[in-house]
Structure 1
């Protein structure tokens, strides 16, 4: 029994990459099982069934235990990545969603896939690195070699017809398409790199860039820098479901002032640096900062003095990248004056 593992974020690269793995599996195995899952339990069930059936496992949001297993046993896998803004655009075109939930989904995929990026057994295909540089026959041969499926020339030629090759004759000539040409031919909802789709507003595109670009990975020499969650990603405690204003009036009773943004982080230890500006003195008001996932990750009570910028940090450990992070800023008692602004959070990898 052989299992081919294909991981990737939503988008054109993953769609083509998964199609390529299926094409190889058809030629190498004939019949095989498709395991579309993010959990280790489904993988265990297939292995323990003792059916001996070959399989292709596909995942966009692998749980930490599944990623840890893949890295530990050093099994070959494919990891497909692309520009996160292109991934958001792809989801907007493919679904009816048009709001910040698109950004949350891509952040979840990136956070879940990050542990796989530096694994020695991974073949990382980045759409922006390939584009029009490589023909699909070379890409398919590279994937074949990585998985050791050892297809013949005839089998490679047959597989190419499922991933964008116009005809079997083209495989031996000069008309072998590049990745983008092939993807455009076989992927429903294909978008060119950096294509601005009407389904995605300019403001959401800009916000997605601020949040998601720091999560990009895939080059061994590049580590994830600090991750920034700006004010626009958070929600107002006084108006559930509505965005946070640039300035926050503290007048009123004890309450939750800010919550959200339900974005995701890769597993590991992080320092959450909180920033805000005290515009009007809140005279000894105590605030409680909480960081939640499935459970409380961190908590701190602070008492800003006077006016001006305020900064503090809370250390946390993220165990499950599939669980969104919720921040809460709560006012411990009522106030007759006071105003906050310039709220944001920066995440730094803990030393």
Structure 2
């Protein structure tokens, strides 16, 4: 990591136990630096590129201005990483979000992760790997570079660490975070475990981006979508497509970091389906029903199908809706939408695909 940038720093991460504590630490450190100014920002807020104060931005939901500033090197970054399952449990218990709402919120928090991973001004803090509260506080202070001495930093350590004198980060979180929840380390029942693992499967590649690795594709599996036949229930793995032209699957209204993606769609068809056009369409919430991308699937035979198309996603504020549509009536047949994978284009014309085993 380089010295801090001339304009400021930003601390980014999904709303959970760890970042609640980190934000508190940052505010306490900044209070000891007369030239530091802490500002909490949201998706549509701007970033100052001038001023006498050193700007420290706190954000659970960064937006285009923050992404651009990180990309230009105007902001140093502290990326706060926590197990997506722990974030889900926190947001469900404290905020009242459903598991899909929490995953959606976590993807919104991750829209800057590709830019973060490409920056050389990044400190990554992980609850899983950080066992010493004092070390974490000193790491934050080094990243902020606001001119505090060791005694001033240790004074903050004494305020936010375990009051019994221990070094445990988890003990500090338990004492100082009002809505503390312990990390999930045990079975909570099959249904809940499925939801927690779903959060990890969607979010883990996005968290890897913040650490500089964009090789693993982002996965949107079947359970994140809605089935038009019964949108209030989890989508079935196999659906009967007999009936009129209509949308079969739609959703999930997740966010992606702005980038160019090669999208792979995995579907399976029964043997009764022949020469029936299916269409995959991408829509953004900020466009008036104009498709961002469209791929037609025709002359299907029974078995698995892998379709490819390119999505140039430019607006971090847009959530994305995918629609799998059958364009005309079908007498009989079954279909499965297995998953969509998003591979990052490295801007040289080559896709960042994982190596063969």
* Structure 1 CA distance for aligned equivalents of residues 251 and 60 of structure 2: 23
Q: For residue 176 of structure 1, report the CA deviation from its aligned partner.
A: 4.7
Q: For residue 40 of structure 1, report the CA deviation from its aligned partner.
A: 4.3
Q: Which moved more, 1:86-95 or 1:112-121?
A: 112-121
Q: For residue 220 of structure 1, report the CA deviation from its aligned partner.
A: 4.9
Alignment partner of 1:260 is 2:251: yes
* Structure 2 CA distance for aligned equivalents of residues 183 and 160 of structure 1: 12
Over 3 Å counting, the alpha-carbon distance change for 1:291 and 1:197 in structure 2 is same
1:86 touches 1:195 (CA, 8 Å); kept in 2?
no
1:250 touches 1:337 (CA, 8 Å); kept in 2?
yes
* Structure 1 CA distance for aligned equivalents of residues 90 and 187 of structure 2: 9
Over 3 Å counting, the alpha-carbon distance change for 1:300 and 1:30 in structure 2 is closer
1:279 touches 1:341 (CA, 8 Å); kept in 2?
no
Equivalent residue, structure 2, for 1:71 = 71
The TM-score with structure 1 as length reference comes to 0.85
Q: For residue 256 of structure 1, report the CA deviation from its aligned partner.
A: 0.8
Candidates 35, 39, 44, aligned match of 2:44 = 39
Over 3 Å counting, the alpha-carbon distance change for 1:93 and 1:117 in structure 2 is farther
Please state whether the residue corresponding to 2:110 is helix, strand or coil: helix
Please state whether the residue corresponding to 1:150 is helix, strand or coil: coil
Alignment partner of 1:250 is 2:241: yes
Alignment partner of 1:12 is 2:45: no
Please state whether the residue corresponding to 1:141 is helix, strand or coil: helix
Q: Which moved more, 1:4-13 or 1:80-89?
A: 4-13
Q: Which moved more, 1:274-283 or 1:324-333?
A: 274-283
Equivalent residue, structure 2, for 1:331 = 326
Q: For residue 287 of structure 1, report the CA deviation from its aligned partner.
A: 1.4
2:261 touches 2:310 (CA, 8 Å); kept in 1?
yes
Over 3 Å counting, the alpha-carbon distance change for 1:197 and 1:74 in structure 2 is farther
Rg: which structure is higher? 1
* Structure 2 CA distance for aligned equivalents of residues 113 and 260 of structure 1: 22
1:143-292 pair list within 5 angstroms: 143-166=140-163, 175-195=165-185, 201-217=192-208, 220=211, 222-292=213-283
Q: Which moved more, 1:238-247 or 1:25-34?
A: 25-34
Please state whether the residue corresponding to 2:208 is helix, strand or coil: coil
Q: For residue 153 of structure 1, report the CA deviation from its aligned partner.
A: 4.0
Over 3 Å counting, the alpha-carbon distance change for 1:277 and 1:84 in structure 2 is same
Equivalent residue pairs, number:
336
Structure 2 unmatched runs, 5+: 1-5, 346-350, 352-357
* Structure 2 CA distance for aligned equivalents of residues 77 and 310 of structure 1: 41
Over 3 Å counting, the alpha-carbon distance change for 1:110 and 1:306 in structure 2 is same
Please state whether the residue corresponding to 1:201 is helix, strand or coil: helix
1:276 touches 1:340 (CA, 8 Å); kept in 2?
yes
Q: For residue 192 of structure 1, report the CA deviation from its aligned partner.
A: 2.7
Please state whether the residue corresponding to 1:306 is helix, strand or coil: coil
Q: For residue 302 of structure 1, report the CA deviation from its aligned partner.
A: 1.7
Please state whether the residue corresponding to 1:217 is helix, strand or coil: helix
* Structure 2 CA distance for aligned equivalents of residues 181 and 290 of structure 1: 48
- 1:165-187 deviation digits (Å, cap 9, x = unpaired): 528xxxxxxx3523222111101
Equivalent residue, structure 2, for 1:318 = 313
* Structure 2 CA distance for aligned equivalents of residues 66 and 149 of structure 1: 20
- 1:119-157 deviation digits (Å, cap 9, x = unpaired): 111222122221x2x3x3333233223222222344224
Equivalent residue, structure 2, for 1:340 = 335
Over 3 Å counting, the alpha-carbon distance change for 1:222 and 1:30 in structure 2 is closer
Q: For residue 197 of structure 1, report the CA deviation from its aligned partner.
A: 9.0
Over 3 Å counting, the alpha-carbon distance change for 1:36 and 1:63 in structure 2 is closer
Q: For residue 327 of structure 1, report the CA deviation from its aligned partner.
A: 0.8
Q: For residue 286 of structure 1, report the CA deviation from its aligned partner.
A: 1.2
The TM-score with structure 2 as length reference comes to 0.84
